Chains A and B, each alone.
Chain A
Amino acid sequence: EPEVTQTPSHQVTQMGQEVILRCVPISNHLYFYWYRQILGQKVEFLVSFYNNEISEKSEIFDDQFSVERPDGSNFTLKIRSTKLEDSAMYFCASSLGQGMNEKLFFGSGTQLSVL
C-alpha cells in the first residue's frame, strides 16, 4: 500500500528557533493535512491544504505556522519561532478526495522536542 513519508522522525530544537517538518504525500493525492498530538492529549487538526492554498485551519495554526508545497512532491510545515508548548508529535496526512470520499493516509509522524 502507498505510504506518506515524514522526515525527520525526531527533531530537537531550541526555543525560538525555526523548524521545518517535511512530508511526502501519496503521489496522486490532492488534499494535504497536518495534525499534531501533544503527549497524553488528543490528535488535533492543524491545517488542510488543497490547490496550493490553505482550505481550513484551526485556532492552533497561528501566524507562527505556515505550510507550503514547494514542488510536486513535498508538503512542509514551518514553525517560525518555536515555543516549549509546540513540543508534540506532528502527523502529515493526505487524501485523494474530500467529503464522503475522504480516507486519510497518515505518515508515521515527526516527534518535535523544543528545549
Chain B
Amino acid sequence: AQSVAQPEDQVNVAEGNPLTVKCTYSVSGNPYLFWYVQYPNRGLQFLLKYITGDNLVKGSYGFEAEFNKSQTSFHLKKPSALVSDSALYFCAVRDETNDYKLSFGAGTTVTVRA
C-alpha cells in the first residue's frame, strides 16, 4: 500500500521569507515522489520529482524538495517566497512496484502575503 500525508492544511508566509510545505509518505518498496501545484481554475502542474540519486531535488519556479528516507519525508521548500506562489500544493507518491497509480496527499494551501 502507498499513501501520503500532508500535515498542514494551510501555510502562511510573508513574501521574501522561506517557504516549507511538509509531506510524509508510506510505501512498501522504494518511493517515487512528486510535487504538483494547482493554481485557481487550472489543472495540477508538475513541480518536481524524486526517483533516485541526490536527495535534494530542484524543480520549477525555484522550488526544491529534500528526500529523507529515515524520516520518510519529502518536504517542499523555497528560499524566498513570492505572492505568486500562493496556490494549492499536492505531494504524491508511487511505489516502485506500481507502474501507474499515484497516491496524492490532501493538499496544502499556501498563502504568501505581500
Contact = CB atoms under 8 A, between A and B. Distances in A.
Interface string B49-60: 101100000000
Interface residues of A, number: 27
Interface stretch (A13-21, A65-73, A101-109): A101-109
B43 A48 contact: no
A103 B42 contact: no
A48 B42 CA distance: 21
Contact of A91 (B43, B105, B107): B43
A41 interface: yes
Given A56-B99, A58-B101, A43 B43 contact: no
A100 B112 CA distance: 32
Interface in B78-99: 90, 92, 94, 99
Given A42-B105, A103-B49, A98 B43 contact: no
A2 interface: no
Interface size class of B (residues with CB under 8 A): 20 to 34
A69 to B, nearest CB: 16
B26 interface: no
A103 B99 contact: no
Given A106-B43, A106-B44, A56 B102 contact: no
A33 B44 contact: no
Interface of B: 32, 36, 41-46, 49, 51-52, 90, 92, 94, 99-107
Given A43-B107, A99-B99, 17 more contacts: A33-B100, A41-B106, A42-B105, A43-B90, A45-B102, A55-B100, A56-B101, A93-B44, A100-B32, A100-B52, A102-B32, A102-B94, A104-B44, A104-B46, A106-B36, A106-B43, A109-B43
Interface of A: 4, 6, 31, 33, 35, 41-45, 48, 55-56, 58, 91, 93, 98-100, 102-109
